[in-house]
Amino acid sequence: MSLADATFPDGPAPPLPPGPPYACRQLRAWRGRPFDLPPGDPRLRAVHDGGPAPCAPWEGLVGMARWWAEHPDWMDVLDPASPVHDDKMVERALYLHAWANHLPPGQRVLDLGGGVGRFTQWFLARRCAVELVDPDLRSLRRAVGHAARQARGHLDVHWSTGERLPSLAPVDIALAIEVLCYAEDPAAVLERVHATLRPGGLLLCSVEARWGWAMAHDAAPGSIDDFFGNGVVHVPGDRWVRTYTEDELRALLSPRFEVLEVLPSHYAFSGPFEPAAGPLDAARAIALEARLRAHPVARPLNRAWMAVARPRC
């Protein structure tokens, strides 16, 4: 499940530098070439090829396969031409600002569910070694292409799920950004992450928040009853999302992790405050986030929860 296992339909694989992970500046020959990888979960192959979801939480993967075919410009959010590039970069800036005290350069990083590498790219630019794991092979191909433009950092990628996280050397930081809300078994994901973090390492994670998500423009029409129930929104063939309250997130983390911090994030460019906020750059979004978080009415209407946690021994 590593780049060392990649095969190419159009010829032999380009040579790899010493690793893993591999120096990004020496991956240029991988750009634009659609490699294949062995999947960590054998069910991924059928979904990648257009098959149905084997379980409800994988509906999002089915939707991703369709969107890659129909709207690839929306999927590669690191492409400046993508219609959602600016919003996704502002969203990343909000996370990084909230976690700034926990992000020293030169770390070993696990980016779980990292997609096309939105956060991976930021860490690579800071000379980190990143293990990027994602259940969507098309996203991993783009992630390698983007990383190959870097002059810094080291990368390896793995086609798998959090429940079947490959065995990796211990990491200093594990990212699970908008992952646990789409996982088939969030507790199993956290168990694997716990086993991968070094003692004293940090988990930085986020999940969709129950009521801010319900009020967002991209909430599924007719899903309001789901929020009064277990908070799971299921749209067959398109999405499956488990939303969380703060207490639910803390309860999920606490068996394996000491929760150091949970903060609300309002995503003012895509949550319930989007119409009133209007277009936002990173600086304005960060300033507005502070105001929303401090306001007694606005604070509970957050779009997401951001947590920092340390593995229990």
The beta-carbon contacts of 105-111 under 8 Å, at least 24 apart in sequence, are: 107/171, 107/172, 107/173, 108/169, 108/170, 108/171, 108/172, 108/173, 109/171, 109/172, 109/173, 109/174, 109/175, 110/168, 110/171, 110/173, 110/174, 110/175, 110/193, 110/196, 110/197, 111/175
110: three-class secondary structure by DSSP = strand
pLDDT above 80: residue 68: yes
Phi, psi dihedral angles at 172 (to 5 degrees): -85, -35
Domain that holds residue 71: 3-311
Q: 């078994």: which residue's tokens?
A: 185
Q: In the structure encoding, which two tokens stand for residue 200, read together?
A: 């004293």
Q: In the structure encoding, which two tokens stand for residue 65, read together?
A: 């396969």
Residue 56 CA to residue 53 CA, distance in Å, equals: 7
Residue 167 CA to residue 158 CA, distance in Å, equals: 11
pTM, to two decimals: 0.96
Residue 209 CA to residue 238 CA, distance in Å, equals: 19
Contact 118, 96 (CB under 8 A): no
Specify the number of domains making up the chain: 1
Q: In the structure encoding, which two tokens stand for residue 284, read together?
A: 């304005």
User: Which range among 44-58, 181-195, 212-226 shows the weakest confidence by mean pLDDT?
Assistant: 212-226
Residue 36 CA to residue 164 CA, distance in Å, equals: 18
Contact 159, 39 (CB under 8 A): yes
The mean per-residue pLDDT over the stretch 100-118 comes to: 97
Model confidence band, residue 268 (pLDDT cutoffs 50, 70, 90): low
Of residues 148 and 214, the one with the higher pLDDT is 148
Q: 């379980």: which residue's tokens?
A: 55
The mean per-residue pLDDT over the stretch 32-58 comes to: 96
CATH number of the domain that residue 198 is part of:
3.40.50.150
How far from 262 is each of 178, 181, 304, 308, CA to CA, in Å? 14, 16, 10, 7
pLDDT in tens, 179-207: 999 999 999 999 999 999 999 999 999 99
Strands 108-112, 171-177: parallel, antiparallel or unpaired by DSSP? parallel
219: three-class secondary structure by DSSP = coil
Q: In the structure encoding, which two tokens stand for residue 234, read together?
A: 């299921």
How many C-beta neighbours within 10 Å does residue 181 have?
26
Model confidence band, residue 216 (pLDDT cutoffs 50, 70, 90): confident
Q: In the structure encoding, which two tokens stand for residue 149, read together?
A: 């433009």
pLDDT above 70: residue 269: no
Residue 124 CA to residue 129 CA, distance in Å, equals: 7
